[in-house]
């Protein structure tokens, strides 16, 4: 029985879409293995990483390519899970082939053969994936710009923080009078402080995520599984918030002690 390695990926924008979810991708791959008598020997994933990122910035994909041996099949639910950039797709496919393996999409997409028509189909599929990524980016940028023009908050609140209730918010938007103050969420701030301390002590973001998952600590959305990219976003979000906060830098320990006091953002 021929061996197959699964690669699944889901970017932040796509996590709410059940058809592109990690579980749905894995199910499609497993069904493909059953239909084609393939033995699934490994599953590698990149959760919350864009398809525009290269191989060096996607550890799951790098692990999958590294694990390829002669006659191994690298199986994806769809080619856009591999990448949303034709050049990156072609590079990864060439690396797999060079190691004696083959890249296959459970959705077909021209990966069943290497004749002229199949290769053309793969190139068309990759081009449309890139086009869709660019459209999504343009729509998101336009929507955020429109919100800023209306004086509304654009983007998500960093983990550990929430908008202060209108009754306790003293800072207001000059455009529409909406409150623009934030306040700490004590339970989450304790986790942020722990993450920062562990990171400062030399722990990797993967190790921190694994520990939080093992302990059953809920994420911001209530899930029990933490990803290293989530840890990276929390650390980055805290730093950005600290740099942009007036009049002084935020200290989570101080905020936890005085969490009822709103921190006004300029």
Domain limits of the chain? 2-130, 161-264
- Residues shown for the chain: 266
Q: How confident is the model at residue 225 (pLDDT cuts 50, 70, 90)?
A: confident
- Which segment of 90-94, 127-131, 233-237 scores lowest on mean pLDDT? 233-237
Q: What is the pLDDT of residues 151-162, one digit of tens each?
A: 666 667 778 888
pLDDT digits (tens, 9 = 90+) for 226-261: 888 889 888 887 666 555 443 333 444 444 333 333
CB 234 within 8 A of CB 158: yes
Q: What is the phi/psi pair of residue 161, to 5°?
A: -135, 155
How buried is 135 (Cβ within 10 angstroms: 0-12 exposed, 13-18 middle, 19+ buried)? exposed
Q: How far apart are CA 54 and CA 107, in angstroms?
A: 23
Peptide bond connecting 247 to the previous residue in cis, omega within 30 degrees of 0: yes
pTM of the complete model: 0.61
Coil/strand/helix, residue 33: helix
Q: What is the pLDDT of residues 12-66, one digit of tens each?
A: 654 544 445 888 999 999 999 999 999 999 999 988 888 888 888 888 999 999 9
Domain 2-130 has CATH 3.40.50.1390: yes
**Average pLDDT taken over every residue of the chain:** 80
């Amino acid at each position: 029985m021929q061996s197959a390695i699964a690669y699944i990926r889901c970017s932040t924008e796509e996590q709410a879409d059940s058809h592109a979810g990690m579980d749905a991708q894995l199910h499609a791959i497993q069904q493909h293995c059953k239909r084609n008598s393939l033995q699934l020997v490994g599953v590698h994933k990149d959760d919350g990483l864009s398809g525009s990122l290269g191989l060096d910035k996607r550890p799951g994909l790098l692990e999958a390519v590294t694990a390829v041996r002669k006659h191994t099949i690298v199986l994806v639910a769809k080619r856009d899970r591999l990448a949303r950039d034709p050049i990156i797709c072609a590079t990864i496919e060439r690396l797999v082939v060079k190691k004696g393996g083959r890249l296959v999409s459970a959705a077909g997409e021209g990966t069943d053969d290497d004749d002229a028509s199949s290769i053309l189909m793969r190139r068309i599929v990759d081009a449309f994936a890139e086009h869709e990524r660019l459209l999504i980016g343009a729509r998101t940028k336009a929507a955020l710009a429109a919100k800023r023009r209306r004086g509304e908050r654009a983007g998500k609140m960093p983990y550990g923080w929430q908008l202060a209730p209108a009754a306790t918010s003293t800072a207001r938007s000059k455009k529409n009078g909406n409150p623009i103050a934030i306040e700490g969420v004590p339970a989450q701030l304790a986790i942020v402080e722990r993450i920062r301390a562990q990171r400062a002590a030399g722990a990797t973001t993967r190790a921190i995520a694994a520990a939080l998952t093992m302990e059953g600590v809920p994420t911001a959305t209530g899930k029990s599984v933490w990803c290293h990219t989530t840890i990276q976003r929390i650390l980055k979000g805290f730093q950005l918030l600290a740099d942009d906060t007036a009049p002084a830098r935020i200290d989570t320990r101080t905020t936890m002690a005085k969490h009822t006091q709103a921190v006004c953002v300029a």
